[in-house]
Structure 1
């Protein structure tokens, strides 16, 4: 779980969770703001651009609760 912060610039614009500067720099928008984060979105959607505020094709786990963009990895080998 990500920690809460009092600085709005370092918080997710969707869920208000603290988002590290490196995450905001890599996945955020041009102003290094995170529109979504791992606390409120799936990594598949984040890698598609949801953290930068882009609309993505993968269903949103918040509006499609049974959707997690696939089964969670359990540490085992695939196949």
Structure 2
């Protein structure tokens, strides 16, 4: 029997980054089953308010794929 070296996300974890999220966060920003697909650790509050926490596609660019946003490198190409 093989046991995975990582833990599987629980219902209290973000489904994207596996960070713990409170029941209140999941109730407000999560999907119909109170699951958080994104959280403040892996997404911006603007996107969360648009519905990314519930797993919806939102118009605001994803911070993981758009430079200069939460988590991106806005200084790339700049010189001092």
* Normalised TM-score (structure 2): 0.75
Gaps of 5+ in 2: 1-7, 71-80
RMSD: 1.7
Which residue in 2 is equivalent to 1:76?
none
Local SS of the residue matching 2:11: helix
Question: How many pairs align?
Answer: 64
The structure carrying a bigger helix percent of its residues is 1
Structure 1 distance, partners of 2:23, 2:46, is: 20
The CA deviation at 1:11 is 0.2
Which residue in 1 is equivalent to 2:26?
24
Local SS of the residue matching 1:39: coil
Q: 1:12 aligns with which of 1, 14, 17?
A: 14
* Normalised TM-score (structure 1): 0.75
Gaps of 5+ in 1: 1-5, 69-79
